[in-house]
A and B are shown apart, each in its own frame.
Chain A
Amino acid sequence: MAKITFPVEATHIMMFARSIGDTNPVYHDAEAAKKSEAGGIIAPPSFAQAVAQFDPEYHLRPKPGQKWFGSAKGPSGIEGKPASSGGLHAEQHYEYIRPLRPGDVLTAETNPGKVWERESKRAGKLTFRERVTEYRDQNGELVMIARGVGVTTERPVDQG
């Protein structure tokens, strides 16, 4: 898989913290953050999920000139597509070597991991796929490892 360059920016961190309702000044107030134990603004623990913004091919972002599967005039912009529950996120794990900071320019390299299947009463056959992403900084130092597990279900998850 191609490497993605991920510049970490203060505004992006501020917006990310807002979206999770985290008012901790260490995510948005440079002066307060400087006086804190962190010594400056850092990114929240799950911020690296926003690496998707820097993947030119990311499949869950609408792109000009391409049909989008969400609704527009009709319930889906792709005609004749069978109803699908799509993929869901099953697990996410991070190992931190150091916090991410504004000014970091990370390189993210993702490799496929294990694949396994399981039967479930609520959604039929489940297929799990692991992806492991290593994040290195501008000096080539490993700063974080992310391991995500996605699941595709045979049918939408029963809410009963």
Chain B
Amino acid sequence: MALKASALKVGDTHSECVVENLSRTQIVQYAGVSGDYNPLHTDEVYTTQVAGYPSVFAHGMLTMGLTSKMLTNYVGDGRLTKFGVRFTNQVWPGDTLQSIATVEAIREEGGQHLVDLKLSTVNQDGKEVVSGSATARIDA
């Protein structure tokens, strides 16, 4: 279902839990499909003993993908014109993430209605792991 400009207002929000108790296996799934086999994400021995981190951690792009799930559930399929994120903190096995989109602007460009959204994904401690923005085409 597409969003409608007439039914949206600045400050509206949509949020979803995008992963609960993130498993190492899901990180492996993402490594396999994306092709990013950096051992920092899947190899506990290397990551703790050589790289000096407390455990493996998720690909930033897995967190972006999780965030995108909330985003497309909100704006609909094939409607994004822009989507960008900064990775502000690492995501660890066991994390539970909540993603939220907040309407920043509703505008019209060349006859097309658009919504600008601010994005944030936070972990179970309230720490932001992704901050970002997106623009999507919406109906009148």
Residue numbers of A with Cβ under 8 A of B are: 12, 15-16, 18-22, 24, 26, 36-38, 42, 44-46, 49-50, 52-53, 55, 58, 60-62, 69-71, 75-76, 81, 83-86, 88-96, 98-99, 147, 155-157, 159
**Chain B residues within 8 Å of A46, by CB:** 61, 64-65, 68, 83
Nearest Cβ on chain A to B59's Cβ, whole angstroms = 7
Distance in angstroms between the alpha carbons of A24 and B81 in the assembled complex: 19
B85 interface contact, C-beta 8 A: yes
**Chain B residues within 8 Å of A155, by CB:** 52
Distance in angstroms between the alpha carbons of A119 and B66 in the assembled complex: 30
**Chain B residues within 8 Å of A75, by CB:** 45-46, 49-50
B39 touches A19 (CB 8 A): no
A71 and B87 in contact (CB under 8 A), knowing A21-B66, A84-B51, A85-B51? no
CB nearest to A25 among chain B residues: B77
Range of interface residues on B (Cβ < 8 Å): 35 or more
B52 touches A156 (CB 8 A): yes
B84 touches A96 (CB 8 A): no
A88 touches B87 (CB 8 A): yes
Distance in angstroms between the alpha carbons of A99 and B82 in the assembled complex: 11
B36 touches A19 (CB 8 A): no
**Chain B residues within 8 Å of A12, by CB:** 33
**Chain B residues within 8 Å of A92, by CB:** 60-61, 64, 84-85, 87
Distance in angstroms between the alpha carbons of A29 and B68 in the assembled complex: 19
A20 touches B65 (CB 8 A): yes
CB nearest to B19 among chain A residues: A21
Residue numbers of B with Cβ under 8 A of A are: 2, 18-19, 26, 29-30, 32-40, 42-43, 45-46, 49-54, 59-62, 64-66, 68-69, 71-73, 76-78, 80-87, 90
Nearest Cβ on chain B to A66's Cβ, whole angstroms = 13
**Chain A residues within 8 Å of B53, by CB:** 85, 156-157
B29 touches A18 (CB 8 A): yes
CB nearest to A18 among chain B residues: B29
Distance in angstroms between the alpha carbons of A147 and B49 in the assembled complex: 32
CB nearest to B30 among chain A residues: A19
A94 touches B39 (CB 8 A): no
Most chain B CB within 10 A, of A45, A60, A76, is at A45
Nearest Cβ on chain B to A5's Cβ, whole angstroms = 14
Q: Among the listed B32, B42, B50, B90, which residue makes an inter-chain contact with A19, where contact means beta carbons less than 8 Å apart?
A: B32
Q: Can you list 5 pairs linking A and B with CB atoms under 8 Å apart?
A: A19-B26, A19-B32, A45-B72, A49-B65, A75-B46
Most chain B CB within 10 A, of A19, A75, A93, A99, is at A19
